[in-house]
């Protein structure tokens, strides 16, 4: 009996030792990432559910985008919970498999006949971007239109309505949610392109300087696959209107 008891204790102790509580941080990006929501956002809720598959937890703090990247890069924070793949950042970040997909569209002033038809259709345009966001190399390196950077989408929407820029861009779900929650008076003054600049995968990422990084990514990818295989990921997305 003593040996059986000892075996149970060791098993439980080992199980608890393997459990981790990871930290994460990012800027406000509703409805995916937002401290204004009880679940901290759809993406955060999904990531937490994925980590539960390996018995782990994740806390979340809201930080400005650039500061969040730097904190994950140095290992001060474990996880950047919502990031698009960028080849340059693979020098210091390791990415998970994508757990969601974002459709990046152009936002224009109501009545503007513009429709995105490839990078050439931006000729001569002033396009509002968000500082340090990754829109893809083709967009970021093009020289036939002007990119005007600011700290957030709503600043760009105000500039758009006031005629200071011609276009801005964002994930359509994020844009509609953010505008309706922060500046509902502007919702009827803007419209969205039917064609997307891109449809990009949303990943978690952690810093290569963080010794826990390979473990974090492996646990996440395994949990994600388990949710894909048993149908719980599809159910989660449907329940959250995605």
**Segment 166-176, tens digit of pLDDT:** 999 999 999 99
| pLDDT at residue number 47 | 98
Cα 207 to Cα 11: distance, rounded to the nearest angstrom: 31
Residues 183, 118 share a domain: yes
Residues 115, 171 share a domain: yes
Q: Does residue 34 lie in a domain region?
A: yes
Q: How many CB atoms lie within 10 A of CB 132?
A: 13
Q: Does residue 51 lie in a domain region?
A: yes
Classify 91 as helix, strand or coil: helix
Token representation of residue 39: 């679940």
DSSP bridge pairs for 150: 130
H or E stretch at 222: helix 213-230
pLDDT average, residue stretch 88-96? 96
Q: With the C-alpha atoms ordered 219, 223, 229, 233, is the resulting torsion angle positive or negative?
A: negative
pLDDT average, residue stretch 135-153? 94
Residues 210, 96 share a domain: yes
Number of folded domains that form the chain:
2
Closest among 63, 8, 50 to 202, alpha carbons compared: 50
Q: Which residues contact 114 (CB under 8 A, 6 or more apart)?
A: 106, 108, 121, 125, 166, 167, 193
pLDDT average, residue stretch 54-75? 95
| pLDDT at residue number 140 | 93
Peptide bond into 197 cis (omega under 30): no
pLDDT average, residue stretch 52-73? 94
Q: Rounded to the nearest 10 degrees, what angle do helices 213-230 and 42-52 cross at?
A: 90
Confidence of residue 18 (pLDDT cuts 50, 70, 90): low
Kindly tell me if the per-residue pLDDT of 240 is higher than 90: no
Residues 154, 181 share a domain: yes
Q: Does residue 109 lie in a domain region?
A: yes
Residues 188, 107 share a domain: yes
pLDDT, averaged across the chain: 91
Q: Does residue 216 lie in a domain region?
A: yes
**Segment 175-215, tens digit of pLDDT:** 998 999 899 999 999 999 999 999 999 999 999 999 999 99
Residues 108, 96 share a domain: no
Residues 116, 94 share a domain: no
pLDDT average, residue stretch 112-141? 94
| pLDDT at residue number 214 | 97
Kindly tell me if the per-residue pLDDT of 8 is higher than 60: no
Residues 196, 153 share a domain: yes
Q: Does residue 8 lie in a domain region?
A: no
pLDDT above 70: percentage of residues in the chain: 93
Cα 41 to Cα 171: distance, rounded to the nearest angstrom: 15
Q: What is the CATH number of the domain that holds 230?
A: 3.40.190.10
Residues 170, 54 share a domain: no
Q: Does residue 9 lie in a domain region?
A: no
Owning domain of residue 230 = 20-100+201-239
More confident call, 152 vs 7? 152
More confident call, 74 vs 12? 74
Cα 123 to Cα 104: distance, rounded to the nearest angstrom: 19
Q: By mean pLDDT, which of 4-18, 52-66, 147-161, 173-187 is the weakest?
A: 4-18
Cβ atoms of 198 and 136 within 8 Å: the answer is: yes
Q: Looking up tokens 């392109």, which residue turns up?
A: 193
Residues 128, 47 share a domain: no
H or E stretch at 147: strand 146-150
Residues 96, 129 share a domain: no
Q: Does residue 93 lie in a domain region?
A: yes
Q: Does residue 7 lie in a domain region?
A: no
| pLDDT at residue number 199 | 93
Residues 192, 146 share a domain: yes
């Amino acid at each position: 009996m003593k040996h059986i008891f000892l075996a149970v204790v060791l098993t439980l102790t080992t199980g608890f030792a393997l459990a981790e509580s990871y930290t994460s941080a990012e800027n406000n990006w509703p409805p995916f990432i937002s401290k204004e929501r009880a679940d901290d956002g759809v993406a955060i809720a999904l990531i937490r559910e994925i980590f539960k598959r390996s018995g782990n937890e994740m806390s979340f703090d809201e930080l400005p985008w650039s500061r969040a990247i730097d904190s994950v890069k140095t290992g001060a924070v474990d996880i950047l919970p919502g990031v698009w793949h960028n080849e340059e950042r693979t020098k210091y970040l390791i990415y998970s498999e994508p757990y969601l997909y974002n459709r990046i569209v152009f936002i224009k002033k109501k009545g503007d006949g513009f429709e995105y038809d490839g990078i050439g259709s931006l000729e001569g345009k002033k396009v509002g971007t968000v500082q340090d966001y990754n829109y893809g190399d083709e967009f970021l390196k093009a020289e036939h239109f002007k990119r005007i950077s600011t700290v957030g989408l709503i600043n760009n929407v105000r500039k758009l309505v006031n005629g200071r820029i011609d276009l801005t861009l964002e994930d359509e779900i994020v844009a509609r949610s953010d505008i309706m929650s922060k500046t509902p008076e502007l919702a009827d003054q803007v419209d969205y392109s039917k064609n997307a600049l891109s449809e990009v995968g949303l990943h978690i990422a952690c810093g290569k300087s963080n010794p826990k990084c390979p473990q974090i990514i492996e646990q996440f990818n395994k949990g994600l696959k388990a949710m894909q295989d048993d149908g719980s990921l599809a159910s989660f997305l449907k329940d959250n209107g995605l």
